[in-house]
Structure 1
Amino acid sequence: MKPAPSMPEPYDLLIVGGGVNGTAIARAAAVAGKRVLLVEQGDLAQGTSSASTKLMHGGLRYLEYHEYKLVREALAERAVMLRTAPHIVWPLEFRLPHMPSMRPWPIVRMGLWLYDLFAWGGGLPRSRGIRLDDPALVQNGGRGFSYWDGWVDDARLVVLNAMDAAEAGAEIRTRTRLESAQRQAEQWTVTLRDATGVHQVAARTIVNAAGPWVEQVLHGRLGQNDSSPIRLVRGSHIVVKRCLAGDHAWLLQQADGRIVFAIPYLDDFTLIGTTEVTVNDPTDTVIAPAEIAYLLDAANRYLRTPLREDAIVGSYGGIRPLVDDGTQAASAVSRDYRLELDRKGAPLLSVFGGKITTARHLAQAALERLGIEGGDTRNRALPGGDIRDFGALLASVRERWPFLDEPVARRMAHAYGSRIDTLLVNARTADDLGTDFGAGLRAREVDYLIRHEWARSADDILWRRTKLGYYLDPAQVERLGHYIRETIA
């Protein structure tokens, strides 16, 4: 009789969830020298982490809810990310028109002063009073404020976390679902399913970072009963044809006490968001007609020429898994995170809440809860982020590859940073980059994304790796999808 096959050596950590929290924890643990496996049932950042407002910010409005600790932590992390990932995180000016019917001038001024104080030493300009100078605004010439925060390519942040984790030794498996797990005293026996079938692995610790699915994983697949209650809140956005000039964003106060952002997006659009609607299903991400109307009304309160629905070129919603603190209004629920460690047998750490800005800090806190030393990524550049001056990098790209159209050169410099060399090495003409699928997306870049960034579909590339989905027509998308299927077959 043949002996039963032995279980492979246990992983130190098995992380469930390929969003920003899961990949940040995988990165920190791998840097600490741990044997890490991360599994994600879809693509990296396929859920909430690619459906954010694209801000790396402290959260000015959180001051109203006295969340001073969260704001200070987030502003400190903003400074870290501006330094370690300057290609995908950069400073963004916000202008805030003052409407006497909203928050009084002294209250806003005091809030901005406190925000400046919490961000002291972060390297961005301080807030100031301004005269509005955009003729598209009803209040052009009126009073307002200027302050600074950060912009982030959210999905690329997740992918770069995963890349750095993999380069430090972690194993990243996308399109892999955790089916079930049996707990013993010292380890978990975990059943995984992917396109090739069912597999079993062992892990000393499980980290449940499944975002909106955290309770489903905890109760349905891990068989655990205790957890913090969470509230699922959909944040929806619309993307419209560019309606405001300049490289700065706008913070628009609303009569209901909320604020809505209007942010320059890509080269041709304005991103407007967000709403906050409580839902029951983590897949309930489609923006509702009432949310569209709310966001249009929010912008039109300030615009001289009102936006209509035909200006909308796209929309998206993300489900935020917030710790339910009993607050009635979804907008007032804390954006802070909670880590729950269960040691009734092999350890299980569950992550509740959190935000993109504080994911790196959350990862450090998770390692501390698990008693893992090392893994400090505060001064560790994300892949492509080992550059001092993005302007100098962009100038170099223009000089070395002059055949790239300006929007393409800028997009690729931002996306890949110093690693653009790996992608464009030996290219002398545009034809060297292969088939053009549209908007400057060529076969060599697609091959790179498949080989290095776990891309497996047109959606992975167009909506998460590059954001070029707004530019390609259906025929181009189908052509790209066919090429990907042929490449990975």
Structure 2
Amino acid sequence: MAERAATQTSDTYDLAIIGGGINGCGIARDAAGRGLKVFLCDRGDLGGATSSASTKLLHGGLRYLEHYEFRLVREALKEREVLWGIAPHIVRPLRFVLPHVKEMRPRWMLRLGLLIYDHLGGRKALPGTSSVDFARSPIGQGLKPGLRVGFEYSDCWVEDNRLVILNARDARRLGAEIRSRTACVAARTGPGGWTLTVEGANGARRDIRAPIVVNAAGPWAGDVVRTLAGRRTGGRTRMVQGSHIVVPKLYDHDRCFIFQNGDGRIVFTIPYEGDFTLIGTTDRDYSGDLDRVRASEDEIHYLCRAASAYFSRPIAPADVVWTYSGVRPLYDDGASAAQAATRDYVLELDQSDGAPMLSIFGGKITTYRRLAESALDKIEPLLDPSHRAKVASMRGWTGRASLPGGDFPKQDFPALVRALAEAYPFLPPGEATRFVRYYGTEAPAILGHARKTADLGQSFGAGLTEAEIDHMRRNEWALTSEDILWRRSKLGLRLRETQAQEIDRYLTGLSQVA
């Protein structure tokens, strides 16, 4: 205890954020860009929980129209193209195919829903809806013969953990202090607001002082309010688990499918990492340990059955090469089914004891930026008068400023890939695309003056080298092979366990030298 006390320091900030998922990092970026001194901590890896367990989609949520969530859908539809514009390396458009099934939603309902979807959000660059005749189109290859027609519409894909990391990086560039693997272990109020005690992985503690705290702890947000702050929440949180499976690719074209199921849920199949297909999600209530969220055997079987109902070749649990699962803390609106619970966000402001805490409940990755703006709107009247005018005047700046590596027109992605391949001709086929997809205009800085693969240092397989790992470690808070292979990238799909262990040994060696 005496050793820990000797390592303690004290710092004062305008805003302290607990939770380093997409909402916390999005708020940190927005606040830092408006001139606030920001501190953010997360007890684990940034985006290491719910924010890395999404279906990787920036979408309005076609099925939410059935629940009359028009405001949420409209906001999300508008955000697709905003995020594509500020991060065209990690965001890309996708075409989704919705087969018509006679026994389920009628054809007129699908047409009406897609008509609303096309026009509700002011779509500009994304193509609109069209019809598909499966008998005449290659899109129908592999589908069961009974499926005759469908509808094709647009949404976007996002590298979800990279979106978190890029927001965190930009927040840090703007002056925010971002601390991963740093737990908030105590919180107390007093004159001037909050004092948070945070503890790093090495046991060192610090006291962080801030007049306002944002609770963006995701599934743990209720615990922060009740246990850490000793307060009561105004609403209830509904924990909804979403699990996904990855199988060898089911078809050769680039379309995604959205399949209706008899229980009212929908399942996507999405081309994934070149050689695979992603299938998800499950949407079911969860009451287990939040630190041990895994796809259950029941969920794996459910997803296999749901996809097999549409494909001629059945998908079996033995085909699954990887699973992942997360829990979303949705605001409990009393919906009877997990899939019907609102995905809208609720911002709960508690000003007890003169120490404001803003807690974030619900939300989806597509609307994280607008959620951050709404959070700053709530915070602005509580700020020191010297900050209020600037914070109010800069609303919306995050929708105009590129995220790191995204400072190029979205239509120039193929040109960036060609330029990188020409500058580094030794890159294996597909690696130039992967580098631009992950790093955008920053890719040449990672590859540097290399003229052959050996110049990039030790090779760990699947194109991953010492140079790229060092970039992730120095600039992206990556400390373990899991951070690198399953969150910052998905190269874990292509590497053996022994290769992952070699990466951990390499990282351990670097930490010992440091």
TM-score past 0.5 threshold: yes
TM-superposed CA distance for 1:122, in Å, is: 3.0
TM-superposed CA distance for 1:140, in Å, is: 7.5
* Deviations 1:311-348, CA, capped at 9 Å, x for gaps: 10010111000001111100100000000111221211
What's 1:201 paired with?
Answer: 208
What's 1:119 paired with?
Answer: 121
1:85 aligns with 2:87: yes
What's 2:503 paired with?
Answer: 480
Relative to structure 1, the CA distance from residue 90 to residue 189 in structure 2 (aligned partners, 3 Å threshold; closer, same or farther) is: same
What's 2:150 paired with?
Answer: 144
Written as runs of structure 1 = structure 2, the 5 A alignment for 1:220-299 is 220-280=227-287, 281-299=289-307
Written as runs of structure 1 = structure 2, the 5 A alignment for 1:397-416 is 397-416=420-439
More helix by share: 2
TM-superposed CA distance for 1:383, in Å, is: 0.5
TM-superposed CA distance for 1:142, in Å, is: 1.4
3-state SS in 1 of match to 2:321: strand
Q: Separation in 2 of the partners of 1:320 and 1:276? A: 9
1:336 aligns with 2:344: yes
Q: Separation in 2 of the partners of 1:407 and 1:461? A: 19
Q: Separation in 1 of the partners of 2:240 and 2:216? A: 17
Contact 1:262 1:270 in 2 (8 A): yes
Q: Separation in 2 of the partners of 1:44 and 1:6? A: 23
What's 1:56 paired with?
Answer: 58
* Deviations 1:222-244, CA, capped at 9 Å, x for gaps: 22123321010100111011112
Contact 2:78 2:122 in 1 (8 A): no
TM-superposed CA distance for 1:407, in Å, is: 2.1
What's 1:380 paired with?
Answer: 401
TM-score, normalised via structure 2 length: 0.92
* Deviations 1:65-98, CA, capped at 9 Å, x for gaps: 0000000000111110011101001100001111
What's 1:356 paired with?
Answer: 365
Give structure 2 stretches of 5+ with no counterpart: 1-5, 381-390
* Deviations 1:371-407, CA, capped at 9 Å, x for gaps: 1422521101110000111111111111111111122
**Which amino acid in structure 2 is aligned with residue 36 of structure 1?**
V
Q: Separation in 1 of the partners of 2:274 and 2:237? A: 37
Q: 1:316 aligns with which of 321, 324, 328?
A: 324
1:110 aligns with 2:112: yes
What's 1:370 paired with?
Answer: 379
Q: Separation in 2 of the partners of 1:199 and 1:283? A: 25
What's 2:474 paired with?
Answer: 451
TM-superposed CA distance for 1:408, in Å, is: 1.7
The RMSD of aligned alpha carbons is 1.5
Q: Separation in 2 of the partners of 1:178 and 1:112? A: 45
Contact 1:139 1:302 in 2 (8 A): no
TM-score, normalised via structure 1 length: 0.97
What's 2:190 paired with?
Answer: 184
Relative to structure 1, the CA distance from residue 347 to residue 303 in structure 2 (aligned partners, 3 Å threshold; closer, same or farther) is: same
TM-superposed CA distance for 1:7, in Å, is: 7.2
3-state SS in 1 of match to 2:212: strand
| Number of residue pairs matched by the alignment | 486
What's 2:103 paired with?
Answer: 101
Give structure 1 stretches of 5+ with no counterpart: none
Contact 1:232 1:279 in 2 (8 A): yes
3-state SS in 2 of match to 1:377: helix
Contact 1:131 1:141 in 2 (8 A): no
3-state SS in 2 of match to 1:235: strand
TM-superposed CA distance for 1:141, in Å, is: 7.1
3-state SS in 2 of match to 1:236: strand
Relative to structure 1, the CA distance from residue 487 to residue 479 in structure 2 (aligned partners, 3 Å threshold; closer, same or farther) is: same
Q: Separation in 2 of the partners of 1:394 and 1:459? A: 27
**Which amino acid in structure 1 is aligned with residue 406 of structure 2?**
G
TM-superposed CA distance for 1:366, in Å, is: 0.3
Contact 2:14 2:211 in 1 (8 A): yes
TM-superposed CA distance for 1:185, in Å, is: 4.0
Moved more, 117-126 or 260-269: 117-126
What's 1:164 paired with?
Answer: 170
3-state SS in 1 of match to 2:235: coil
3-state SS in 2 of match to 1:428: coil
Contact 1:76 1:122 in 2 (8 A): no
1:301 aligns with 2:303: no
Contact 1:75 1:122 in 2 (8 A): no
TM-superposed CA distance for 1:283, in Å, is: 2.7
